[in-house]
Structure 1
Amino acid sequence: MWTEGVPVEDEARRQLINTARLPFIFHHLAVMPDVHLGKGSTIGSVIPTRGAIIPAAVGVDIGCGMIATRTTLNAADLPDNLHALRTAIEQAVPHGRTVGRGKRDDGSWENPPDLVNALWRELLPGFQRIVAKYPRLQSTNNHKHLGTLGTGNHFIEVCLDEADRVWFMLHSGSRGVGNAIGNTFIELAQADMRQHLANLPDRDLAYLEEGSAHFDDYLEAVGWAQDYARRNRQAMMSNLIAAVRKLITQPFGIDLEAVNCHHNYVQKETHFGSEVYVTRKGAVSARRGELGIIPGSMGARSYIVRGLGNEESFCSCSHGAGRRMSRSEAKRRFTIADQVRATAHVECRKDQAVIDEIPMAYKDIDAVMQAQRSLVEIIHTLRQVVCVKG
């Protein structure tokens, strides 16, 4: 556990122990400083397995992660009216979720743009192979969710680094189709283990065994959803840049330092001389020299980091600050006035719908970074000036 100086709730400790006792866990669990209670397994943990995968540990926002890019713009190049910049971004990228009878979800495209259509054509053959086996996935939000943000803790930000250079950064995953794939295989794992669920400490620790039909199908589907998530972030970043170019007419360059990383995913890796499946549930790969992103909250700093390749952590680091209270608790405890004060330095929404994302609902990002100083080194420190929330 890399949690020195960071509080860990008792429920999360019990969840970690439940997961660690499973017979197919390889070597040990690695626990990141942003660890907190999750579904089945804790968010902020690295779960190496041999011969099985736990679908609920990977979760339903498969491939969720971050993308960031540095530009040649400086703080002085930004418009004085940052509200106009936020509005331009909100118009360029569908976000949130508004579902009503007979109405289109405003968080999806009505008519996807050419970029999204082109990316979907590349994803379609793999999706069709999955749907051939699992027809229920056909009617999910897939094409029209590609290049859209979502809700909750997903965000788009304009940030400044320690030299006042402008960065664009965003956080999202595989959207509706990834959610459907995740839930489908969580249900299948529980159905396959129906006779054994009573022996598990939590039904959401139901697993798929290597060699079974559902295991192979899950690997195919989860790999596709992770590809979807990466392309989803790329599409949003392209549309974000295009929106800013319309508002800031002076030419500027991008991709000077770019990072696109998952933090909810599973892949095969070699550790301690063995080939194993590594599930990072709210954790980022941090191999030696590998760049990653660790965001704080909508009122705190974020970090671009370089991995130190710490093998005890399975070459991983935290995926953020980590929540210190539930969304319902944040809404009960804080007011709009609290949100206004906590985000006074940021152009963002400051209404009842985003109180669950108030900075005080998250752990201290500085304490989190201090706790994992053996996992990563800080390359850039970012502070947001614009934040778009779903």
Structure 2
Amino acid sequence: MENKRINGNDLIALGYEENFALGEALKINKKRLGFTREEMLLKFAEVLATPDSYLEDGLFKSLASALLNVDEVAKATISLKEGKQQYTIYGESQIEEGALRQMDLAMKLPVAVAGALMPDAHQGYGLPIGGVLATHHAVIPYGVGVDIGCRMALSIFDVPEEHLYLHHDLYKKVIMDNTKFGAGHGYLKHERVDHAVLANKAFEANDFIRQLKDKAWTQLGSSGGGNHFVEFGVMEFKETDRTLGIEKGRYVALLTHSGSRGLGATIADHYTKLAKKLCSLPYEAQNLAYMSLDTAEGQEYWLAMNLAGDYASACHEVIHEKIGRALGAERLAMIENHHNFAWKELHQGEEVIVHRKGATPAAKGVLGIIPGSMATPGFLVRGKGKEEAIHSASHGAGRLMSRTKAIKTIARKDLKSMLSDNGITLIGAGLDEAPMAYKNIHEVMAAQEDLVDIIASFSPKIVRMADDGSRED
């Protein structure tokens, strides 16, 4: 127990309040410098009782200063709305308390206009995953997320499902030869491909963005870690879809999920830190720091965010084009959608900034893709344009277990058995991505029947994910 981590609740039990001094204490605790847990707790109690005596202390002086300046900082802090603000929740019985608390807090921001929580929601940083928040002329970097422009892309080929089973090894080889996975991974110079996105003028907007261009080129057409994937499967249309021009039947399809790679992650980190400097929110709301679009900083982030979104789309385009060429198959349709992004939209006649952090755009008639897991179906959907949901739907099944809990509780033999029962070949991935770590996709879809119509279903058959422990999701 001696080395058990000290957390915020431990410090609150000593008498610390939830303010920036608590945050400073947690930063100091990471250093430890040879102190045991009990010794650190005693030190924290002493600094809280007599901060003046620690102003020259090498380790605790920043905490002492923070404690002595709490009142001054509080005066400069932006006030949140008082009381619980109303928002719509879908599938509430399956949403963890942490996600609800995060959404409650987000709705108290002075710039918040409306919100909604999707049935796949779970706790994240700032806005919960599955959270939708409309704001007045302000953008929240952590409301968009770290993997800016993370998206789904689906190619439906004019190939009957039997071809996938008869030529299984060919499809597996095509995936292996034309994809690359893992946080930080990319292509060597002679392997790189060109794309129009690299000529985007936004890359020349400022020195910060300019120095990211080579990294973007290196990773163009690659996929991240965590829950990102490239998979072949069977697409089933139970009825002919006249809009897409696809007849009733079962087709081979390619489904991909990933985002803007290192480009987006670096942009998110940079502008989140900048937002926190410019927007002094109460300690518990710091990850919701926002920037007005009337400011130069807000406009810079908006430009960079849109660049990352375009880049994410380009990555999927490269993957789908390479795989399509390798197969020599005719593509009947390609559908894609972002789900970590912010858009300018109208809500009840007012222009707002809609943040969808792990949520699918579902305006009336808009197509989207909602995946399940490596062993459960995903769905091609058409939005119904529900205003209470801010024209949104879930972006997947949503996590039921944290990654740590999944690794500790799910047996590899159970995963192998489930994959075998469903006829699925898995390349890469860890136990943290096992289907058992996710909510029941059918229950999630049932909770959002008012938000989308199901057009077709996708059953995974050959799935590739990162196998290096990457967590870029």
TM-score (structure 2 length as normaliser): 0.74
Q: Which 4+ runs in 1 deviate beyond 6 A?
A: none
Matched residue SS, 1:164 = strand
Distance in 2 (alpha carbons) for counterparts of 1:6 and 1:87: 42
User: Is structure 2 residue 120 aligned with structure 1 residue 34?
Assistant: yes
Which is higher, the Rg of structure 1 or of structure 2? 2
The match for 1:229 among 302, 312, 316 is: 312
User: Is structure 2 residue 302 aligned with structure 1 residue 219?
Assistant: yes
User: Is structure 2 residue 199 aligned with structure 1 residue 122?
Assistant: yes
How far residue 136 of structure 1 moved from its aligned partner, in angstroms, is 8.2
The match for 2:254 among 162, 168, 172 is: 168
The answer (yes or no) to whether the contact 2:181–2:465 under 8 Å persists in 1 is: yes
Which amino acid in 2 is paired with 1:151?
Answer: G
Distance in 1 (alpha carbons) for counterparts of 2:111 and 2:223: 35
Residues 243-268 of structure 1 deviation map (CA, whole Å, 9 limit, x = unaligned): 333xxxxxx320x2321110000111
Matched residue SS, 1:349 = strand
Describe the shift of the 1:38–1:350 C-alpha distance in structure 2 as closer, same or farther (beyond 3 A): same
1:366 aligned partner: 442
How far residue 21 of structure 1 moved from its aligned partner, in angstroms, is 0.8
User: Is structure 2 residue 284 aligned with structure 1 residue 201?
Assistant: yes
The match for 1:20 among 100, 107, 118 is: 107
The answer (yes or no) to whether the contact 2:132–2:356 under 8 Å persists in 1 is: yes
The match for 2:388 among 304, 312, 318 is: 312
Gaps of 5+ in 2: 1-87, 237-248, 467-473
2:168 aligned partner: 82
Give the CA RMSD over aligned residues. 1.9
How far residue 348 of structure 1 moved from its aligned partner, in angstroms, is 3.2
Gaps of 5+ in 1: 98-104, 246-251
Matched residue SS, 1:161 = strand
The match for 2:415 among 339, 346, 367 is: 339
The match for 1:69 among 137, 147, 155 is: 155
Which amino acid in 1 is paired with 2:199?
Answer: E
The answer (yes or no) to whether the contact 1:137–1:177 under 8 Å persists in 2 is: no
The answer (yes or no) to whether the contact 2:234–2:458 under 8 Å persists in 1 is: yes
User: Is structure 2 residue 440 aligned with structure 1 residue 380?
Assistant: no
1:109 aligned partner: 187
Matched residue SS, 2:460 = strand
Task: Among all aligned residue pairs of Structure 1 and Structure 2, give the percentage whose two residues are the same amino acid.
Answer: 34
Distance in 2 (alpha carbons) for counterparts of 1:209 and 1:118: 32
The match for 1:148 among 214, 222, 226 is: 222
TM-score (structure 1 length as normaliser): 0.89
User: Is structure 2 residue 371 aligned with structure 1 residue 295?
Assistant: yes
1:101 aligned partner: none
How far residue 303 of structure 1 moved from its aligned partner, in angstroms, is 0.1
Distance in 1 (alpha carbons) for counterparts of 2:214 and 2:130: 28
The answer (yes or no) to whether the contact 2:156–2:235 under 8 Å persists in 1 is: no
Distance in 2 (alpha carbons) for counterparts of 1:260 and 1:231: 11
1:138 aligned partner: 212
The answer (yes or no) to whether the contact 1:140–1:176 under 8 Å persists in 2 is: no
Describe the shift of the 1:160–1:82 C-alpha distance in structure 2 as closer, same or farther (beyond 3 A): same
Matched residue SS, 2:265 = helix
2:359 aligned partner: 283
